[in-house]
Structure 1
Amino acid sequence: MVTLRASNKNKRSQKIYLTKVTVNVTSFDESGQLDIPQTIVDSANLQPGFIVTSPNTYNQSFDIPAVDRAAIRIAIDLSYELLLEVSRDDEGIRDLAKQVATDRLSVPIITR
């Protein structure tokens, strides 16, 4: 299980929204990739997304699917799609900028 936590502590006045998290899980043996990456997605069900500006956070647990028995490691690629509020006019109309952040976890599989 992987748990994600996102927050913005540096710019409290700027609102940041998380719109989607994508998790791709791929297993490998000594020769290379064993399978097609398995994808897990969590998309916000509200607009413009889940607010992650401090003190608000996003927590979600993702169950990692079973991998091939021959695997010696798995790669977990995480992609976060964020909307940043860059301005708001007097009528409440916002300008938003989209940014994408990524992380990769490489997890060895130890067999006995």
Structure 2
Amino acid sequence: PTPPIVPRPKPMMTGMAHLGHLVIYLLFIVLPVIGLVMMYNRGNPWVAFGITMPHAAEANFERVDMLKSWHVTLANLGYFVIGLHAIAALMHHYFWKDNTLLRMMPRKRN
């Protein structure tokens, strides 16, 4: 089990941490799916892991452009959230002086 954070953070901080992690995990799923749908809608054969993947009979470049816009926007959101995540981790360690970073480190075996 993961050790608790000492001193215990305020509920709002815990909620913000959960929200940030949720956004990161959703982006890990949504961004690749959008990329796959873009590849499908280009209408060209493409290969993933050595397997020829299905593609649309006719290309739909309007949809590809829309998906590309979403992909770029969500990727930029991801960069922003990951940056906030890193800043929050450093603030926990240096500003609030709790054990958030230390509890993520592997334990030394005796």
Q: Using structure 2 for the length normalisation, give the TM-score.
A: 0.23
More helix by share: 2
More strand by share: 1
Computing the radius of gyration from Cα coordinates, the structure with the larger value is: 2
Q: Using structure 1 for the length normalisation, give the TM-score.
A: 0.23
